Amino acid sequence: MTAGGSTSGAAAPLAGRVALVTGAGRGIGAAVAERLAAAGAHVVVNDLDDGPLGEVLSRIGAASGSALGFNGSVTAANFAEQAVAACVDAFGGLDIIVNNAGYTWDGPLHKMTDEQWLAMLDVHLTAPFRILRAAYPVLKDQARRDSQMGVERRRKVVNVSSIVGLVGNAGQANYAAAKAGVQSLTRTLAKEWGRIGVNVNCVAFGHIETRLTQPLTDASATLRIDGRHIAVGVGHAVLEQLRTQIPLGRAGTAEEAAGAVCMFCGPDSDYVSGQVMVCGGGLAAF
């Protein structure tokens, strides 16, 4: 699935750049994909579900943006290589990677199964690792060509984490461990990839309004992941407690979350790398 169009001029700081955004059919990922397209990037939009994926592509196309849909699970064996190849085949390269795909599967540690534990590590930590590993030859080759032409061009990786990865959270040992790992992966890769012109940063979100954080009810949404049905939502008491702890007094929107991610995708962050930024309305990280 594709959406075609072009944006040019001063309002398109990412004109000609190619971006891969995982988990971009809904919520934060969708907002990131649309914002990058509005800034002029060609966006490869990934999601598990064709319906939401098609809606994002339609909105990008209606706004004269350029996008390609890439359906699939980031945890699939060949996903990383195929996603990178889709970027190169469709748009000629890869400049921006946003590792956003993920979900939660909560439970107290003493009741947590190996399946629950490994599922969170797979989607939040192993999948980004594989995508970045698959992207390395493309990014290195592009850097080599830039050097031969005497130009400096910064490329960007933004990994999505959570404030839970900084402070932990009861019932989320698996998710917290995976998101903490994402932060260390970010800092390490920034040291490895700086020499090939890649900035690697991370956004750790606080309470953002998505389907994963909707109020928990008897009719709460259920995710279907690899044949599993996983209920999502947050209890009313927990949501109210969160709101009282957030200095700005409310949860963030997906669009506000996308703003934090996109700060690291554009030229204003060309000398920023290896950073973990908390986007949580002032919610304390420590």
CATH number at residue 80: 3.40.50.720
Task: Catalogue the active-site residues.
Answer: 175
Q: Lowest-confidence range among 4-13, 59-68, 194-203?
A: 4-13
- pLDDT tens per residue across span 78-107: 999 999 999 999 999 999 999 999 999 999
- Give the pLDDT confidence score for residue 9 in this predicted structure: 47
Residue 221 lies in a domain: no
Tell me the pTM: 0.91
Residue 161 lies in a domain: yes
Contact (Cβ atoms closer than 8 angstroms) between residue 79 and residue 54? no
Percent of the chain with pLDDT over 70: 88
- Give the pLDDT confidence score for residue 226 in this predicted structure: 74
Q: How confident is the model at residue 230 (pLDDT cuts 50, 70, 90)?
A: confident
- Is the pLDDT higher at 11 or at 135? 135
For the chain, how many structural domains are there in total? 1
Residue 245 lies in a domain: no
Q: How confident is the model at residue 210 (pLDDT cuts 50, 70, 90)?
A: confident
Q: CA 62 to CA 217: how far, in whole Å?
A: 35
Residue 263 lies in a domain: yes
For the cut 50, the answer to whether the pLDDT of residue 19 exceeds it is yes
Please report, as a single letter, which amino acid is at residue 184: S
- Give the pLDDT confidence score for residue 53 in this predicted structure: 97
| DSSP line for the chain | -EE-----STT-TTTT-EEEESS-SSHHHHHHHHHHHHTT-EEEEEES-HHHHHHHHHHHHHTT-EEEEEES-TTSTTHHHHHHHHHHHHHS---EEEE---------GGG--HHHHHHHHIIIIIHHHHHHHHHHHHHHHHHHHHHHHT----EEEEEEEETHHHH--TT-HHHHHHHHHHHHHHHHHHHHHGGGTEEEEEEEE-SB-SGGGSBP-TT--EEEETTEEEE--B-HHHHHHHHHH-TTSSPBPHHHHHHHHHHTTSGGGTT--S-EEEESTT----
Residue with tokens 């699935």: 1
Residue 16 lies in a domain: yes
- pLDDT tens per residue across span 144-154: 999 999 999 99
Range of the domain at 186: 2-210+254-279
Q: CA 158 to CA 171: how far, in whole Å?
A: 26
Residue 11 lies in a domain: yes
Mean pLDDT of the chain: 91
Residue 220 lies in a domain: no
- pLDDT tens per residue across span 111-131: 999 999 999 999 999 999 999
Residue 218 lies in a domain: no
How confident is the model over 253-278, as a mean pLDDT?
Answer: 97
For the cut 70, the answer to whether the pLDDT of residue 2 exceeds it is no
- pLDDT tens per residue across span 23-37: 999 999 999 999 999
